[in-house]
Each structure stands twice: as structure tokens, then as C-alpha cells.
Structure 1
Amino acid sequence: MKRQNDWFTGIDYYDNHKEKEISVERTIIDTETQIKRHEQVEMFYVVSGEAIVSINGRDYDAKEGSFFCMYPHHFHHIRSVQKALEVISVKFYIGLFMYMSWEKHPKYVNAKLMYDTRPMVSLQRKQKEKIKELVQEILQERENQRFGSMNMVQYKTLELHTYFCRYAYEHIGIDKKEESEVWKVIKVTILTTGKNLSLEEAAKATSLSPKALNRSIKETCGYTFFQLQQFGKIINACALLHFPQLSMEYISDLLGFSSVNAFYRSFVKYCLVTPREYQEKYIRSKDWVVMGSGYAMQFLQYMHIHFMKDLSLEGICKEFCIKEYTGKQIFEEVFGSNFNSVLNEIRVCYASAFLRTYKLNILEISLMCGFDSLSTFQRNFKFYMHQTPTEYRSAMKHEENRLEPK
């Protein structure tokens, strides 16, 4: 028997890209390093050695069993090395994991994870064994490149990050180290992207004047208040661009830009490409902009769920936060048809099932499937099924009688 070799899956529309790549490596650190800002989440587990890691101005003892997780608002460097560190590091873009799945938490839990947790936890015996085994499995999958390794690396990295969040959240308030005024402002400036926090407002939370605060921020981390603010917005924009249902206008407004043009200018300055080019180049291929973005399948799912209701292209685009002309283009390019035609085909599909199973009359089924008139229903039914609803029901009844056991 001839085999079917041309199976298609989501990966046919979802090419490998920059943000899907997860960096995993075993590293030896035997010298001090310079303070740095980073776009990726950087996690590392200390296999052996002893050193002092400075994160946002606070020192942490790095030794066997130390588990670090640093986000883009963490500036870190190795301040001193007593014994060369052997670490297994895992780096990834947080947007990928935001897109994959997040458990719904009680109110303010995510904020506590960002603001109140330490970037390092010291693991106990069973925790240490679990995390050490997990990071070694991730490293092994990356090195061996067996079938499914890329998926395994993603799943296990997501598991690793979830474990850190759990441990860090459970350690809130334990052995807490206070941040300096300046480092608190630096963190809040990067994380507070929903509104335009001014330097004057930030200074009120400190004992410094706006000018002195800006100078201290520059001396502390190498960037000005405004540069940090824009960096935070762009980091969040990169994460939000993973969600295809969010329009550029929505992301721009959400992050507090004065206009879409201002959002584009700032994004180009930091990323050297426009937000749309970033999506096409780093998140999905050009072929995936429409099909793989998820819009089409989300539209289809939504229409199947709500086919009985009064649906319109304008309404569904509003539901998914995109422009109507974008929605129109998706239907044309993906389905090769317009919104109304796709909707009518879905309704006829359900009407066919209802005609077979319900004893309702044709008009009742027409209204049940969302058609605004009996004539519209009959016209569309005949177009897709090549017979009238009455003829279809009669043919189905005849077929059932023929198949009934004598």
C-alpha cells in the first residue's frame, strides 16, 4: 500500500526563528566580568565553585546549588571569584514563554514575582537534585539533537523557569536584602511600561533631585532614565509581538507611546527593524504572517462557536483587536474567500447536521443557524450542497431507511 509522506503540521507554517532559539551551555567562569544589560532571561545553575555575583547592586554568594534567574531589569556581573564557577546556563526570550502558556494566578502574584522575589535561590537537597538533573537533561537534549530535541528543550526550559518562580515566590521575605534607592528606581523604570513615568515622579520616591537621580542612574548602570524607560517598553513590545491578535495600535497604546509612529521610531532605534519586520524576521516566516500567525484559525474557531449569533467582519476584528482591512486580507489570503462566504459555509455545515438529527422545520433550522431569512438560507444551502434543504433531508431519510436492518 502506498504511503502518504506529505503530512502537514503547524511547523509547516512556523519556521525556526531567533526568538524560538534557546541557548544552553556549560561554562567555566574564572574571572570577574563587566556589568551588563541583557534582553533575554538568563538562568544558570551553579554545579561547582564559589564566587560573588552582583545583581542590581546587591551581592549574592554563588556556590553549588545556587539557582539564578535574571530578567531584562537585572544588571549583573561577577564581582569576585574564589573558586572557578562551573555553571549550566539557559537563555531565552520571555515572549516565547508568555505565548506558550501561563497559569492564572491570584491578583498581584505576577507583580510580586517581578518586584519582591530575589534573582537567586539556594536549593535544598531534593530541590538541588531535581534542578541539577533538569538542567543536565536540557543540555543533553541540546547537544544530542535527537528527534524532538527542540521541543524537549522548550518544554524542559519552561519547567525550569516555573520551578524558579515557585521557589523564589515561596522565599519572599526570607533573607531579604534591601535595594538602594537608585536600583529600586532602575527596576521600576524598566518594569513600569503601561504609563509614562516621569523623572520628576521617580525622584519623589528618593532623597535626590531629578537631575541628581538621572546622574546616579547613569553612574550605576550606564544608562539614563529615558534610555531605561524606552528599553523597558521595547522589551515588553518584543514579548507582546508574539500574540498575533494584538494590533500595533493596541501594543503602542498599552505601552504608553504617544502614537504608533512614535512606537515604530523607538522600536527601530533599539532593534534596527520595524515591529512588523521583527515579527516576520524573528518570530515567523513571511508565509506564516497570515496562516501561521494564528489569526485564521482563531477566526475559524470563533465562528464555529458563535455561528448562531449575528456575526460581522467588523465585530470579529474588534473582538481580536485588529483593523478591519487586516481581517479582510486574512480571509482572502487564507481561505480564498470573504468573511460572509466562510460564515455561510460554516452555517450550512451545521444546518446539514441539524436537518439529519432534529425534527424542526426548515425555517426553525434556518433561524437556529443564524440566517436572517429563509430565502437566504435556502440560497446558500443549495450553493454549497447542490440541493435544497428539503431535498437533502429527504435524501438522508431515504439513506437511513435503506441502511436499516430488515
Structure 2
Amino acid sequence: MKQQNDWYTGINHYDNYVEKEIGIERRIIDGPTDPYLHERVEIFYVLSGKGAISVNGYAYDAVPGSLFCMYSHHFHHVEAVEEKLDVAVIRFHIGLFMYMSWEKHPKHANARLVYDTKPMVRLSGEEKEEVEALVRSLLREAKEARFERLNMIEYKTLELHAYYCRYAYEEIGKASRKERTVWSIIEKVILATGEDITLEDMTEEGISPETMNRRIKEACGFTFFQLKQFGKVINACALLHFPELSMEYIGDQLNFSSAAAFYKVFKQYCGVTPREYQTEYIGTMVPGSGAGSAMQFLQYIHIHFSEDIRLEDLCEKFCMKPYTVKQIFKQVFGNPFEELLAQVRISYACSFLRTGDRTVLEIASLCGFNSQSTFQRHFKRWMNQTPEEYREVMREKPDKK
């Protein structure tokens, strides 16, 4: 078992504060990629190569010195590659940084950072040298297990994000670009969660609400109604990082009809109530707490669902005996580890089936199933239909309803 001789230094901070985990990787991209949803902020820095990255329907040049910052409302993918892209990718939870370092800005500056900035800035000269040195330092820290490695990664990631905010804010108003209408609507729906907007409000003259709803779904994979709910949940997750805000205030700010409605929608998308999310995901988890450990297990499964993970991996990761881990799954989730893992994998499979053109076999492999027949069996069990039937039903046009 892990020793805690110097407990007063907070040596277990990273074990108990999963949200502080920061993902860092270096990727070589030699062709277009598929769009995907992401909960964490994703920073891309192009070290070399030439291509185009599409963010919310608009293609940006990806060349050396391009610094992309995509929040959870940004749907993005590599659209084209002329020369292989060498990209550093840094992923982190925005709430942590909002809470620990959001300095006091001029009036409306924070709103402008969200609404008016572009997701990419092109760096050159000393600015490029500074940011690239920081990125390369992050890549080294992630690779070398040196003393204070995790703290260094956190500080440097915070600095990198601050650089993006500075440069993106300073670019506001310098250049205009033509938005694709449907993506302008998608961004507004996700971000303007405090307004009671309707599909009719978003529909232009000469276009029916049904047609607009279909265009929105074709672009991002969500219907208008789903997009509204998704946006509310994204913003709720951010606001929950501020403990001085009451649940009633957050629900009211996001235009929920009642606290009960807020709790219901949040749990539908996140699997936990807002209070549970605030306690288990944001606050430090209490060692030995079954509920806290269970949420750590669940997040670990969501992160590694595509891999060949076993219950033994959880035991090693969280320094627990197999009996203890099994008891936590039984008491908190009511299902053994294997059952919950299958459910999580099926939920991701449903997302892939709703969007994109991957084959059932590709989706089975992507979601961690060792064969198509195993995937088919689990899918039928949990969804009461085959993957093919599910895809057909979900892709029906809205105007056929």
C-alpha cells in the first residue's frame, strides 16, 4: 500500500484531485480527421507542416506558429493536410484555471474573450519563440519523470493558456471573417444559455424551422433542443467551480424553469447531480470515501474506455485491494466493473453511430470491444436494438417526426 509519511505536504493531492490531470502529447497528422466532442479545453500548437483545421465550420490555416485553443463548444477537426502536421496537444479542465487565476479584467473583457475571439492566433517573431519554447518545455516535462513534474506542467499550461487569451483578445476587431450561418447559430445557442431563444428565433426568412433544425444536426450532430441543453450543462460545469454561487442562482442564470429542472438536465448529461459534480469532481475527494473513489473510477473508465482496461488496473492506479474496489462498484453503482465498463462503451458507441460514417466494426474497435460480435451482443442487451437499427432511427430527418 502507498505510504503517506509526509501527509502534511499534500503528497496525495493529484490522486484525490482528478481534475488537475493535464494531458500532453505530440501528434503527427498526415490526413483529415473526424469531428469530435471534447469536455476539456484542447490547445493545439503547430510545430511544423501545413494544413487546415476546421473549428465550428470555418477553416483556419495550420502552419508553424499557429496556436489553437478550442473550448468545449468548439467542434473541430483537421480538414486538410498538405505537409504532415507536427502538433503539440495540451488538454485540461478550464474550471481549475478559472478558479485559481482569473484576474480582474476591464468591464466585459471576459465576455469578449468567449464571444469575440477567434480560436486561433498566428504567432511570429519573439512571441512565436516564447510560446514555442514553452510548448517544447511542456513536452519534455510530460516525458521526463522529474521532481515537481506535475506542478511544472500545471504552471506552464496556465501560462500557455494566458498567452492565448492575451493574443486572441488583442486580435479582436483587427480582421473580419464571414461566418457560415448555421455555425453562427450553433455558437449562439451554446453560449447564449441565459436567453430563452427558440428555433423560430434562429430561423431566417425563407427557411423553415424544420430545415434549420436539420442543418444544425447535420453540422454538429445535435438537434436545436439538444444543443440548448448541452450549452446549459457546459456553462453549469464552469459556474459550479465557484462555491459562493448557489444552485438556485446558477439554475436561474442558465434560464432553467426550476431547480428541479436544472438537476434533472444536468444529471442526464453528466450522470451526477450538480452538487455531486461540485463535491466529487471539483473539491478534494476524501480518502477512503466510497462515493469519492467511485467517481474517480468512473472518470478513469471514461478516459480509458477505448483501451483494454481491467479491474486490476484500477487497483494498481488507486492503490486498493480487489475486494475493496469490487465492493465500491457494488455499493455505489449496483453493477460490477465489467458491467459499468460495457455501459460506458455503449454510450460512446451511440455517439459515433449518430455522427460520422464509421463502420460498425470500426466503432466496435474504437470503443474497446475485442470483436464485432461482442459489440453487437452488448449493444443489443443495453439498447434493445442492433447498432444498425439504432443508426437508422437516429438519422431519420426531423421533418419525418
TM score, norm. by length of structure 1: 0.65
Equivalences for residues 3-402 of structure 1 within 5 A = 6=6, 8-9=8-9, 16-203=16-203, 208-287=207-286
Q: Conserved in 1, the CA contact under 8 Å of 2:16 and 2:286?
A: no
Shift, 1:190, TM fit = 0.7
C-alpha separation in 2, matches of 1:117 and 1:134: 22
**Distance of aligned partners of 1:166 and 1:207 in 2 relative to their CA distance in 1, 3 Å threshold:** farther
C-alpha separation in 1, matches of 2:212 and 2:57: 16
Shift, 1:12, TM fit = 6.5
Shift, 1:244, TM fit = 2.2
Partner residue, 2:309: none
C-alpha separation in 2, matches of 1:201 and 1:132: 44
**Distance of aligned partners of 1:207 and 1:26 in 2 relative to their CA distance in 1, 3 Å threshold:** farther
Q: Conserved in 2, the CA contact under 8 Å of 1:15 and 1:284?
A: no
Q: Conserved in 1, the CA contact under 8 Å of 2:51 and 2:63?
A: yes
C-alpha separation in 2, matches of 1:125 and 1:90: 22
Q: Conserved in 2, the CA contact under 8 Å of 1:58 and 1:177?
A: no
Provide the secondary structure at the position in 1 that maps to 2:210.
helix
Residue segments in structure 1 that go unaligned for 5+ positions in a row: 289-406
Q: Conserved in 2, the CA contact under 8 Å of 1:14 and 1:285?
A: no
Supply the AA of the counterpart residue of 1:240: L
**Distance of aligned partners of 1:34 and 1:7 in 2 relative to their CA distance in 1, 3 Å threshold:** closer
After superposition, the C-alpha distances for 1:118-141 in whole angstroms (9 at most, x for unaligned) are 111111121111111111112222
C-alpha separation in 2, matches of 1:226 and 1:11: 45
Q: Conserved in 2, the CA contact under 8 Å of 1:189 and 1:228?
A: yes
Q: Conserved in 2, the CA contact under 8 Å of 1:13 and 1:287?
A: no
After superposition, the C-alpha distances for 1:306-345 in whole angstroms (9 at most, x for unaligned) are xxxxxxxxxxxxxxxxxxxxxxxxxxxxxxxxxxxxxxxx
Q: Conserved in 1, the CA contact under 8 Å of 2:195 and 2:255?
A: yes
TM score, norm. by length of structure 2: 0.66
Shift, 1:201, TM fit = 2.2
Paired residues, what number?
285
Q: Conserved in 2, the CA contact under 8 Å of 1:49 and 1:64?
A: yes
Q: Conserved in 2, the CA contact under 8 Å of 1:55 and 1:77?
A: yes
C-alpha separation in 1, matches of 2:11 and 2:238: 20
Higher mean C-alpha deviation, range 276-285 or range 134-143: 276-285
Q: Conserved in 2, the CA contact under 8 Å of 1:14 and 1:284?
A: no
C-alpha separation in 2, matches of 1:223 and 1:7: 46
